[in-house]
Amino acid sequence: MAASGDLVAAWDVPLPDGVHKVEFEHGTTSGKRVITVDGKEIYREDWMFKLVGKEHFQVGNAKCVISIDAVSGFAYEYLLEVNGKPLKKFKENQSKIQRAWCLKIAGHNFRVCLEKNTLYVYVNGDKVDTFGEFTDEGAETHFEIGAHSAVIKGYTTGKRKDGVQHKLFVDEIEIPEAKE
């Protein structure tokens, strides 16, 4: 969390390695700009004459841009783009192309993410080796989380508009899908 009173915007950015918190401080008299990702300051400019503009940075492999625009007088609007899309559109796209699950094994938190377009599987942001096979019910993608066996089962509901659905099982126990 930002330490000063200049915090003007905060966003949650869902990526394969997790949901990242992006915070932006903007001093409207000094032009100060500070970008913090997951509590770590990644950019700081304490004095800028120009109060509007764009700041480019990366969160993992995602290219981000914060746009600072004057809306009236000394009021400003702050917009975040991720990989060239407004955050809302990026999130909508992510929900179409990836599925994520969060679980705890032996006191350790894990986030498993499936990129549906590539069928790559990530565990805590690291791409893992997988083995795929077709079954009578659909397709299965097998991998390991430490010493635990995991499988993502892809299946169809029979309704065309539903597309392929995915469920994660770890040690044969179904894991509910993450909310974001």
Query: pLDDT band for position 6 (50/70/90)?
Result: confident
In sign, the C-alpha dihedral spanning 121, 123, 125, 129 is negative
Strand partners, 45: 33
Which of 139, 135, 132 has its CA nearest to residue 166? 139
What pLDDT is stored for residue 166 in this prediction? 92
Mean pLDDT score, 132-138: 90
Please check whether residue 167 is in contact with residue 114, taking contact to mean a CB–CB distance below 8 angstroms.
Answer: no
Assign a CATH topology to domain 96-175. Lipocalin (2.40.128)
DSSP labels, 130-153: -EEEE-SSEEEEEEEETTEEEEEE
C-alpha closest to that of 57 among 77, 32, 89, 33: 33
The per-residue pLDDT for 95 is 79
Query: What is the tens place of the pLDDT at every residue in 82-123?
Result: 999 999 999 888 878 889 999 999 899 999 999 888 889 999
Tally of CB atoms within 10 A around 74: 9
Across residues 6-16, what is the average pLDDT? 90
Would you tell me how many other CB atoms lie within 10 Å of the CB of residue 68? 21
- 96-175 has the same fold as 7-83: yes
pLDDT tier at 1, thresholds 50, 70, 90: very low
Question: Across the chain, which distance is largest between two alpha carbons, in Å?
Answer: 65
Average of per-residue pLDDT across 121-135: 91
Whether 14 has a pLDDT exceeding 50, the answer reads yes
Instruction: Calculate the CA 128 to chain-centre distance.
Output: 18
Residue boundaries of the structural domains of the chain: 7-83, 96-175
**Between residues 28 and 69, the one the model is more confident about:** 69
Q: What is the DSSP letter of 60?
A: T
* pTM (2 d.p.): 0.72
**Is domain 7-83 in CATH 2.40.128.180, yes or no?**
yes
